[in-house]
């Protein structure tokens, strides 16, 4: 999977925004079983372990927010199933975009998530995920009127 995040200047990780995402996720999504940072000394990514999955029994979100307000929510169930929502500069598609499952390796499409603040983006990502988990329908990850 190619990660276009690495090709642009997104800024440094923002611990306060990551902590906000963690607080919102653990307070509002009961299927978050664990919320940890990748490093206690220099956190770059928030890891949200999920007690359910879309194609597997469990999944994980790797969340990054930067001081410039850029983000990515990368969902994985291992090598076989990945997707992600992102907001960062792109020349070929909307700044807010979505890399579709099953492998998120193809070109991005515009994201249905229009909000830009940490709590609302986190809630939208988790609700879209939950809708897909409960229905088994991948189209629920990109709804015309997202939650």
* pLDDT tens, position by position, 17-66: 999 999 999 999 999 999 999 999 999 999 999 999 999 999 999 999 99
Asked if 38 and 44 count as a contact pair (C-beta separation under 8 A), the reply is yes
Tell whether pTM > 0.75: yes
CB atoms within 10 A of CB 21: 27
- Percentage with pLDDT > 90 across the chain: 76
125-141, pLDDT tens digit by residue? 999 999 999 999 999 99
3: pLDDT strictly greater than 60:
no
């Amino acid at each position: 999977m190619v990660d276009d995040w690495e090709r642009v200047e997104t800024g440094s990780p923002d611990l306060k925004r990551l902590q906000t995402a963690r607080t919102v996720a653990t307070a509002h999504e009961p299927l978050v079983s664990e919320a940890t940072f990748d490093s206690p000394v220099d956190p770059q990514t928030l890891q949200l372990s999920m007690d359910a999955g879309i194609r597997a029994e469990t999944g994980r979100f790797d969340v990054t927010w930067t001081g410039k307000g850029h983000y990515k929510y990368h969902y994985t169930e291992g090598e076989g199933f990945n997707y992600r929502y992102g907001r960062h500069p792109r020349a070929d598609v909307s700044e807010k975009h979505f890399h579709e499952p099953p492998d998120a390796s193809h070109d991005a499409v515009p994201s249905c998530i229009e909000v830009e603040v940490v709590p609302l983006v986190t809630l939208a990502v988790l609700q879209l995920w939950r809708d897909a988990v409960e229905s088994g329908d991948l189209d629920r990850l990109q709804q015309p009127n997202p939650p």
